[in-house]
Amino acid sequence: MTNHEKPRLRFFEESPGQRHIGAADRYLYDQCEPRYRLAIIGTGTIGQEHMRVARLLGCATVHGVYDQNDRSATVAIEEFVRQGGDEPVRYKDLTAACNDADVDALMICTPNHTHIQVFDVAAKSGKPIFLEKPMATTVADAGRIVELARDYPAFVQVGLQYRYKAQYVEAQHEVRERRSVGDVKTISMSEYRPPFLDKVEQWNKFAEFTGGTLVEKCCHYFDLMNLFADSTPARVFASAGQAVNFVDFERDGKASDIADHAFVVIDYENGVRANFTLNMFSPHFVEELVICGDRGRLVASERFDFLQDDASRSSVAIERGEEGNSRMMDVGYARTIEQSGHHGATFFEHKAFIDQLDGKTSDAATPLQGLWSIVVAAAAQESVTTGQPVVIDTFIEQNDLLHALES
């Protein structure tokens, strides 16, 4: 068994009472030697999370960072070193970051509207690429990324990490492997949460930089719904608005236009029907997934009360009535992993990235899956604007996506 495969006992290895264990006696406590070197492009909130998680997983080092905002890069490096990481190289420009011969893979964590330009530069390197969600702010740019990735010499992974949240991993096992609810018929998802956080230059307050809330935030959920439906969307209808958040916010004389609540209905090609509810002026973070099949119902939920500084609480319930056994399960990851970012989802997203670098198969989001999440989101944004349902076949044709969506 190599040190990459050994079990980890992080609670003990980091305990003050175990500091007397020297290097020669470390076996369970022995951390693997990093075998890959990463360049992090974009050092804002999510970029710093990826730096933190890479160090925690221990299979790759953060070799270098680049951000066009000097303060972001400085703070990210200082915080990373404070947490115990080695000071990374600070690149002078994007080209230098993407073409460092000492780097094995690139992670693009820049603001949404810059993804396509950064990807164009990164793709010239031929290195494996991790591209944060949403992969682009328009379906045209997302489609172009898919076409570029199709003939790319290395893999491209899209950062739709909600598929690694504990409750959704368990739900996928119950629905797709155990078939606990039978054939899926309806899917209902909801997210209740506080407003968007502050960002450098407040780009997330404006639809032109985010693609709209349903693209920026909700592509995660549309990815999950596509997975659970196991089909492609046929029709999308949505209603959304800006009721509470940033209604009096302006920057450079421009008023915020970002939606803070929405309802989306999706009809899938295989007959599955789905709906999604978003509310971004809730005092707590609450997510729920309800799947009904012809043999039962599954409810997966997560609640995070940051006002009380509590750990998140996640569960999965299987309700089968007279069809079989019903049960309720608390689910979650080890505390250190859960606290590293997005309740542990980013950690396992990184593990999937390392698996691909190792040449192993992975369930990470592909560019094509990322595009389908954007198709649903962008169609929903169009429906909000027109007040009419959007037929996906027509939407795909109008946006010249047929070639990009070929499998």
What count of other Cβ atoms lies within 10 Å of the Cβ of residue 326? 13
pLDDT at 45 over 90: yes
pLDDT value of position 134: 98
The pLDDT of residue 312? 83
Average pLDDT over residues 300-306: 90
Q: Cβ distance 43 to 72 under 8 Å? A: yes
> Per-residue pLDDT averaged across 199-203, rounded?
96
Q: Give the pLDDT of residue 225.
A: 98
pLDDT recorded at residue 316: 98
pLDDT 10s digits, 390-403: 999 999 999 999 99
Residue with the larger pLDDT of the pair 284 and 357: 357
Pairing of strands 184-192, 273-279: parallel
pLDDT number for residue 1: 47
Query: Taking the model in full, what pTM does it have?
Result: 0.94
pLDDT number for residue 164: 98
Lowest mean pLDDT among 98-102, 301-305, 376-380: 301-305
Length of the chain: 407
Find which of 23-27, 98-102, 312-316 is predicted with most confidence, using mean pLDDT. Answer: 98-102
CA dist 275 and 277 (Å) reads 7
263: helix, strand or coil: strand
For the chain, residues classed under CATH 3.40.50.720 are 10-162
* Topology (CATH) of 166-332+367-398: Dihydrodipicolinate Reductase; domain 2 (3.30.360)
Tens of pLDDT, residue by residue over 125-137, are: 999 999 999 999 9
Model confidence pLDDT, tens digit, residues 242-267? 999 999 999 999 999 999 999 999 99
Over pLDDT 90: what percentage of the chain?
Answer: 88
Domain range 10-162, CATH class = alpha beta
* Bond from prior residue into 128 cis (ω within 30 degrees of 0): no
Confidence of residue 123 (pLDDT cuts 50, 70, 90): very high
Residue extent(s) of CATH 3.30.360.10 domains in the chain = 166-332+367-398
In order, the DSSP letters of 100-117 are: -TT--EEEE-S-GGGHHH
Least confident of 79-88, 121-130, 199-208, 398-407: 398-407
Average pLDDT taken over every residue of the chain:
95
pLDDT at 3 over 70: no
Lowest mean pLDDT among 81-90, 150-159, 306-315: 306-315
Residue 73 in this model has a pLDDT that exceeds 90? yes
Asked whether the predicted pLDDT for residue 4 surpasses 60, the reply is no
In order of 34, 81, 82, 287, the CA distances from 86 in angstroms are: 12, 6, 9, 36
Banded pLDDT at 168 (limits 50, 70, 90): very high
H or E stretch at 35: none
Tell me the average pLDDT across 74-101. Answer: 97
The CA distance from 403 to 296, in Å, is 38
Mean pLDDT computed over 260-285 = 97
Residue 348 has pLDDT above 60, yes or no: yes
Query: CA-CA distance, 91 to 52, in Å (whole number)?
Result: 19
Is residue 47's pLDDT more than 60? yes
Q: Are 54 and 38 in contact (CB under 8 A)?
A: yes
